[in-house]
Amino acid sequence: MIVVLKQNANEERTKQLITWLKGMGLDIHISKGQYQTVLGLVGDTAKVDMELVESLDIVDSVKRVTERFKCCNRKFHPDDTVVSVGDVKIGGGHFCMIAGPCSVESEEQIVAVARAVKASGANMLRGGAFKPRTSPYDFQGLKGEGIELLKIARQETGLPIVTEIMSVSDLPLFEDVDVLQVGARNMQNFDLLRELGQTGKPILLKRGLANTLKELLMSAEYIMASGNEQVILCERGIRTFDDYTRNTLDLSAVPMLHELSHLPVIVDPSHATGLARLVPPMALAATACGADGLIIEVHNDPIHALCDGAQSLTPEEYDRLAKKVNAVRGAVQ
Amino acid sequence: MIVVLKQNANEERTKQLITWLKGMGLDIHISKGQYQTVLGLVGDTAKVDMELVESLDIVDSVKRVTERFKCCNRKFHPDDTVVSVGDVKIGGGHFCMIAGPCSVESEEQIVAVARAVKASGANMLRGGAFKPRTSPYDFQGLKGEGIELLKIARQETGLPIVTEIMSVSDLPLFEDVDVLQVGARNMQNFDLLRELGQTGKPILLKRGLANTLKELLMSAEYIMASGNEQVILCERGIRTFDDYTRNTLDLSAVPMLHELSHLPVIVDPSHATGLARLVPPMALAATACGADGLIIEVHNDPIHALCDGAQSLTPEEYDRLAKKVNAVRGAVQ
Amino acid sequence: MIVVLKQNANEERTKQLITWLKGMGLDIHISKGQYQTVLGLVGDTAKVDMELVESLDIVDSVKRVTERFKCCNRKFHPDDTVVSVGDVKIGGGHFCMIAGPCSVESEEQIVAVARAVKASGANMLRGGAFKPRTSPYDFQGLKGEGIELLKIARQETGLPIVTEIMSVSDLPLFEDVDVLQVGARNMQNFDLLRELGQTGKPILLKRGLANTLKELLMSAEYIMASGNEQVILCERGIRTFDDYTRNTLDLSAVPMLHELSHLPVIVDPSHATGLARLVPPMALAATACGADGLIIEVHNDPIHALCDGAQSLTPEEYDRLAKKVNAVRGAVQ
Amino acid sequence: MIVVLKQNANEERTKQLITWLKGMGLDIHISKGQYQTVLGLVGDTAKVDMELVESLDIVDSVKRVTERFKCCNRKFHPDDTVVSVGDVKIGGGHFCMIAGPCSVESEEQIVAVARAVKASGANMLRGGAFKPRTSPYDFQGLKGEGIELLKIARQETGLPIVTEIMSVSDLPLFEDVDVLQVGARNMQNFDLLRELGQTGKPILLKRGLANTLKELLMSAEYIMASGNEQVILCERGIRTFDDYTRNTLDLSAVPMLHELSHLPVIVDPSHATGLARLVPPMALAATACGADGLIIEVHNDPIHALCDGAQSLTPEEYDRLAKKVNAVRGAVQ
């Protein structure tokens, strides 16, 4: 960690700061420049509160040399993590196609969609049972009943199931779910992350709308520090000034996360764009830049089908897309 | 609600959409323009999923005419809500000064700070017991013990206490807390909001880092729709490209929230800027544009005192600020 | 255009507004809802100042039904525009590979890079002669001399040349340049755009750091309304809170611009990411989502070569990338 | 300047980098840590291209210890700059009230508004003659004629005049203008800035929509490095995800700019919010946090008056606001 002091920093206070830092067992290298003095902190700097030091009146700025994420840091674990869900593998060259409806609505619906996406090559089934909604007046999902319907679809097709958990208190209902998803709004629900660290189950962790890659990795760290190394990262769009798409899909996060971390990285083009017609091009782009998988909304219900609706693809559109995804994977290898 | 159809929208699908909307009990007014057709939806449009309609391939855009927040909407409740915490009132002309340390650390600390801020005119005490931290390796607060220490400080000074709750499962520990704070990262933790709606206690709801005012009001709506009308809104900075301050304090949110809602609006200049030296000017600015109160960090512990530290003010700085806040309140009335 | 009035809008003022609008030759359809009244404006609404109307105290919001860009709007020109630069075509299925150094430095450098990229399949040469720099103390480019060197490289290789123009007063120096580039910082330098509209030359228009797609199209409109239809749009990253890459490359802009406009859309992954190692994955992603071309920095000078430097690729890296771009093009067709 | 090398950075390349840096006349201090090596660069580092070094594959990150702005840096010029415009002074305790219509429309209009705002205490007159408009189809201002009308208003009232310049080629028309304004879209029109540096006239420099404070100061540096020290900085809102106001007024920029620079800082609440009813609260907030002045739109023309329109205040509203601004100034001194 490097601490840059202000020009003419009060000497007395500078000494106090150095004494305080040494008290944490750190070595301090001091180098005086023309306008400013720089302190180099050597030792276990993870325990130093960077924001506190940065805000001292004698300090100009602070720079961490070593990132604080350890479990998910590629520096310390150079090989790709491969997450296993039954026979399905994600990461380290294994590509994963997760698909299914936005919400689980009925047995007929979820089984029909599961069969369709399986036929197109999907190897995992998604479907919302607990739905985070901005408005308390919107449909909040079938909850426990939705999970039961997902299990039926799994039995019928053999596809492992992925579904979102919103609260620690719902954990018992997810005991037989294969992959637990943490939604963007809960990326920093630290109590939930810690509990999920103790489940031992694969966790699909979505990036928050306004969270940096470092914050995403620190949230993965909450899960991993609790003992669970089965974490899949997911880019799903960030909030910007842009007004044509719902969010801005930040695809450079894919190669950057691969550089910073050994965890697999998948992309959700459905939620990122909010528009079905943008899902195929962005799914292909995600594949081209090295994503380890895609999570895509597919529906077969009449209201959506009515108008090629929403952000969900029809089974036919998904089938065409899946073929192109395979072609792009071949092209970039 | 207004639905603008695309030029040359498929007629069959347009009919299907209209039939589906009528099926929800809505009246549909159709007006055909030169390039586009516009549907006016009349009736209870709150149940229409705007994002779904917007994403249909025949739809260009959708505009809600009536906002979906009802409980907190000034249109339906023109008079200011006044939240009462013991003898302290917030909103409707009542200004509230909440102050205290970032974290509760010891009885000596919290009692000393409570006495100091009371002497300067603060009428509520804040202090973190449960701390949301980006890193699992950072100090997470004294938790239950911290709440007990806050109660001691309340007994010593008579100041009601405000502290953050992060999880539904901790609720029993907060039974004797006066105001429960929902932090920025939990603004859309909908399960928590719903539960807080059943406590009947005043809730201080902070705006999320990347949330619009409408989303903040929809989160207030979760609390209020569960039966609790005692909600205080809090602006605490949003995330932007700006890199000199920690967040960008969005002060125009204060008059805008007053226009949209009858709830009191306070400002947290400490977390917004992250720099003690910016707290006084931004606290005065918040007062000048009509905030109903301020929540400010004040410390008295030696590590901070060492260097005028962090985002917290010393008791002396707070005292000087409190006098100026009063002067500005006089000037703008 | 749709004007939503506020609940209880003053009747007198509403009448005045309607009279004023009718005075512009518009028909006004009035529909009264339960809470609000909506005015539908029919006729040539392009001349109505939307911001002025939106800010009136009786108006809740305004929505344009017809976009204000006409020349570049796909609605009025459904077929793709194909821009021709000598034998090179861009758009409508023609893919364009523009490559070259960040700055033109010497004859040896620019000729060597031009030969290398041509051998890898590039069909246009880029190189900065006038450089926009944040700091007045940074190198500002070789200016007129740089353009002369580009012409030499064109003579040696036959590649048409693309270079940035920053000021109307430099126009005479660009008389023999094939494609004039407008940089992100000048996207709303309206005087420059208007002048470029009179050159008849192909213009490569980069999106500004904080500009919406609509604003980009309105800037294209400045050029086209002055009589020049040869405009190439370029996505090059937007400014967000993200801190790992220099900008956030907004690739969903590619299919969205194709939907809104008939103009060709290319992508600049070098400036967007600022990191050479991110250029290949993002170039492939841009190709996969339908870009009509790529503009990429390639260097051969010793300072960069020293350390595989900067955001520029070496000729060898560019060669490998070009082959993969072709493979991805084949995969997505 | 501090250069942090990557773990296991190639030794050969590290040596080459050090040799290259030494070749610029810099001293290099090397300190090896457990995971990374840090280079401290001592000497005139202003000429080192930080982005180039940062992008080298052996480099983790780079940090400048000394800012690159020199002329406007408070470190080197601790005393406030006071800009003089005739008898009017701005900065160093002198508060400046600039007011006037959005666009100059006629002699009657500009003279009437000038008289009204002068009576309320304004000491400078603003009015747009050249108008930057997103759309080529919008009114672009009266141009040269508008400047002539401003001069008439100056003659009638004695108020110095401020108006926006968009292009170097228009400079002759501005010879008799008192303060030249650079709009947000031109903040990085470097050719224009350089030319304005040679006029010797006071320049009002508005912050760009997506520009950091450092970039604003670097743009001021362009003007000052060309010999003109009369620069007034202006905060006018930045672009964020926020959708209720036109831009997000970043008031913490005011104290932060005062800390970084000795130049005066004023605020434009009219353009920042786009809504007349938000102008008074935000003007008071700007005053409370230490702004050196306000630039506010005031109209008297019938179209606006019709409905209390747009972002402009009526003369009566401006008069009430001016009184409160004075009261707040008294309260915070």
Mind giving me the DSSP string for D98-109? EEE-SB---HHH
C200 min Cα distance to partner chain D (Å): 18
Mean pLDDT of A268-292: 95
H helical segments located in chain D: 11-22, 50-54, 107-119, 144-157, 190-196, 213-225, 253-260, 269-273, 279-288, 302-305, 315-332
Check B2 against C63: CB less than 8 A apart: yes
Low-confidence ranges of chain B (pLDDT < 50): 305-308
User: What DSSP state is assigned to residue A319?
Assistant: H
**B297-302 contacts at long range (C-beta below 8 A, 24 or more positions apart):** B297/B99, B297/B100, B297/B101, B297/B102, B297/B126, B297/B270, B297/B271, B298/B99, B298/B100, B298/B101, B298/B113, B298/B116, B298/B117, B299/B101, B299/B102, B299/B113, B300/B101, B300/B109, B300/B112, B300/B113, B300/B116, B301/B101, B301/B105, B301/B109
A92 min Cα distance to partner chain B (Å): 27
For residues D258 and D263, give the distance between their C-alpha atoms in angstroms, rounded to a whole number. Answer: 7
The predicted pLDDT at position A164 comes to 97
- Output the DSSP codes for B82-123: -EEETTEEEBTTB-EEEEE-SB---HHHHHHHHHHHHHTT--
D228 min Cα distance to partner chain B (Å): 26
pLDDT of C307 strictly over 50: no
For residues C82 and C87, give the distance between their C-alpha atoms in angstroms, rounded to a whole number. Answer: 12
pLDDT of A20 strictly over 50: yes
ipTM score: 0.89
Nearest Cα neighbor of D247 from D234, D259, D238 is: D238
Q: pLDDT tens digits, residue range C86-108?
A: 999 999 999 999 999 988 989 99
Q: pLDDT tens digits, residue range D228-248?
A: 999 999 999 999 988 878 899
Q: Pick from D137, D209, D304: which is nearest to C68 by CB?
A: D137
Residue D1: C-alpha distances to residues A5, A38, A64 (Å): 13, 10, 15
- Structural contact between residues C62 and C54, judged by C-beta atoms closer than 8 angstroms: yes
Q: Give the CA radius of gyration of chain C.
A: 23
User: What DSSP state is assigned to residue D250?
Assistant: B
Q: Pick from A49, A56, A308: which is nearest to B57 by CB?
A: A308
- The Cβ of residue C115 has, within 10 Å, a number of other Cβ atoms equal to 16
Please tell me which residue of chain C has the smallest CA distance to D67. C135
Buried b (16+ CB within 10 A) or exposed e, B85-98: beebbbbeebbbbb
**Residue bearing the bigger pLDDT, B304 or A172:** A172
**Tokens 């637990």 identify what position?**
A180
**Which pair of structure tokens corresponds to residue C100?**
């070259």
Q: pLDDT tens digits, residue range A177-233?
A: 999 999 999 999 999 999 999 999 999 999 999 999 999 999 999 999 988 999 999
For residues A318 and A304, give the distance between their C-alpha atoms in angstroms, rounded to a whole number. Answer: 14
Q: Pick from C4, C38, C65: which is nearest to B33 by CB?
A: C65
**Residue bearing the bigger pLDDT, D158 or D14:** D158
Phi, psi of C221 (to 5 degrees): -60, -35
The predicted pLDDT at position D309 comes to 52
Residues of B in contact with A134 (CB under 8 A): 188, 215, 218
Q: Pick from C55, C133, C190: which is nearest to D309 by CB?
A: C55
Phi, psi of D36 (to 5 degrees): -145, 160
- C→B contacts (Cβ < 8 Å), by residue, are 2, 4, 7, 29, 31, 33-36, 38, 40, 42, 60-61, 63, 65-66, 75, 210, 239-241
Q: Is A141 exposed, middle or buried (0-12, 13-18, 19+ CB in 10 A)?
A: buried
- The Cβ of residue B266 has, within 10 Å, a number of other Cβ atoms equal to 24
Beta-carbon contacts of A6 under 8 Å, excluding residues fewer than 6 positions away, are: A36, A57, A58, A59, A60
CA angle, residues C29, C35, C41, in degrees to nearest 5? 20
Residue C86: C-alpha distances to residues A76, A200, C128, C161, D56 (Å): 53, 62, 21, 10, 37
The CB-side HSE value for D293 (13 A sphere, CA atoms) comes to: 28
Beta-carbon contacts of D148 under 8 Å, excluding residues fewer than 6 positions away, are: none
Residue A116: C-alpha distances to residues A128, A160, C137, D253 (Å): 17, 15, 61, 55
Residues of C in contact with B3 (CB under 8 A): none
User: What DSSP state is assigned to residue C171?
Assistant: G
The predicted pLDDT at position D307 comes to 43
Per DSSP, the three-state class of D78 is coil
The predicted pLDDT at position A209 comes to 94
For residues C14 and C245, give the distance between their C-alpha atoms in angstroms, rounded to a whole number. Answer: 50
User: What DSSP state is assigned to residue C301?
Assistant: -
The predicted pLDDT at position D50 comes to 76
pLDDT of A330 strictly over 90: yes
Q: pLDDT tens digits, residue range C108-141?
A: 999 999 999 999 999 999 999 999 988 888 888 9
pLDDT of A107 strictly over 60: yes
Phi, psi of C215 (to 5 degrees): -65, -40
Check D56 against C239: CB less than 8 A apart: no
Q: pLDDT tens digits, residue range D189-213?
A: 999 999 999 999 999 999 999 999 9
Phi, psi of D4 (to 5 degrees): -95, 120
pLDDT of A308 strictly over 50: no
The predicted pLDDT at position D65 comes to 66
- Output the DSSP codes for C237-263: -B--S--SSSSB-BTTHHHHHHHHBSS
For residues D223 and B242, give the distance between their C-alpha atoms in angstroms, rounded to a whole number. Answer: 23
Q: pLDDT tens digits, residue range D100-157?
A: 998 898 999 999 999 999 999 999 999 999 999 888 888 889 999 999 999 999 999 9
H helical segments located in chain A: 11-22, 50-54, 107-119, 144-157, 190-197, 213-225, 253-260, 269-273, 279-288, 302-305, 315-332
The length of chain B is: 333
Q: pLDDT tens digits, residue range C165-198?
A: 999 999 999 999 999 999 999 999 999 999 999 9
For residues D77 and D224, give the distance between their C-alpha atoms in angstroms, rounded to a whole number. Answer: 13
For residues D181 and A79, give the distance between their C-alpha atoms in angstroms, rounded to a whole number. Answer: 56
pLDDT of C49 strictly over 50: yes
pLDDT-based confidence at C33, cuts 50/70/90? low
Q: Which of C18, C19, C66, C135 to mutate to test the interface with D (most CBs of D within 10 A)?
A: C135
**Tokens 């004294």 identify what position?**
B142
- The Cβ of residue C202 has, within 10 Å, a number of other Cβ atoms equal to 23
For residues C284 and A252, give the distance between their C-alpha atoms in angstroms, rounded to a whole number. Answer: 11
Check A65 against D33: CB less than 8 A apart: yes
H helical segments located in A158-300: 190-197, 213-225, 253-260, 269-273, 279-288
For residues D199 and D174, give the distance between their C-alpha atoms in angstroms, rounded to a whole number. Answer: 10
The predicted pLDDT at position D306 comes to 47
Nearest Cα neighbor of B128 from B162, B168, B167, B179 is: B162
- Output the DSSP codes for C195-230: HHTTT-S-EEEEPPTT--HHHHHHHHHHHHHTT---
Residue A87: C-alpha distances to residues A117, A118, A178 (Å): 17, 14, 11
% of chain A exceeding 70 in pLDDT:
95
- Structural contact between residues C317 and C276, judged by C-beta atoms closer than 8 angstroms: yes
Q: Which of A65, A69, A245 to mutate to test the interface with D (most CBs of D within 10 A)?
A: A65
CA angle, residues B295, B297, B300, in degrees to nearest 5? 145
Q: pLDDT tens digits, residue range D266-299?
A: 999 999 998 888 999 999 999 999 999 999 999 8
Buried b (16+ CB within 10 A) or exposed e, A18-57: bebbeeeebeeeebebeebbbbbbebebbebebebbbbbe
The predicted pLDDT at position B306 comes to 46
- Structural contact between residues C13 and D307, judged by C-beta atoms closer than 8 angstroms: yes
CA angle, residues D152, D153, D158, in degrees to nearest 5? 105
C122 min Cα distance to partner chain A (Å): 19
- Structural contact between residues D303 and C13, judged by C-beta atoms closer than 8 angstroms: no
- Structural contact between residues B80 and B264, judged by C-beta atoms closer than 8 angstroms: yes
Q: pLDDT tens digits, residue range A45-66?
A: 777 777 778 777 788 878 776 6
Q: How many helices (H) and strands (E) does chain D have?
A: 11, 14
Q: Distance from CA of residue A26 to its chain's centroid? A: 34
pLDDT of A35 strictly over 70: no
Q: pLDDT tens digits, residue range C251-267?
A: 999 999 999 999 999 99
Mean pLDDT of D65-71: 78
The predicted pLDDT at position B302 comes to 53
Residues D163, D167, D173, D175, CA torsion sign: positive
The predicted pLDDT at position C55 comes to 73
For residues D333 and D325, give the distance between their C-alpha atoms in angstroms, rounded to a whole number. Answer: 12
Per DSSP, the three-state class of A164 is strand
For residues C64 and D225, give the distance between their C-alpha atoms in angstroms, rounded to a whole number. Answer: 45
The CB-side HSE value for D105 (13 A sphere, CA atoms) comes to: 16
Please list the helix, strand and coil fractions of chain D in percent, rounded to the nearest 5, in that order.
40, 20, 40
The predicted pLDDT at position A188 comes to 96
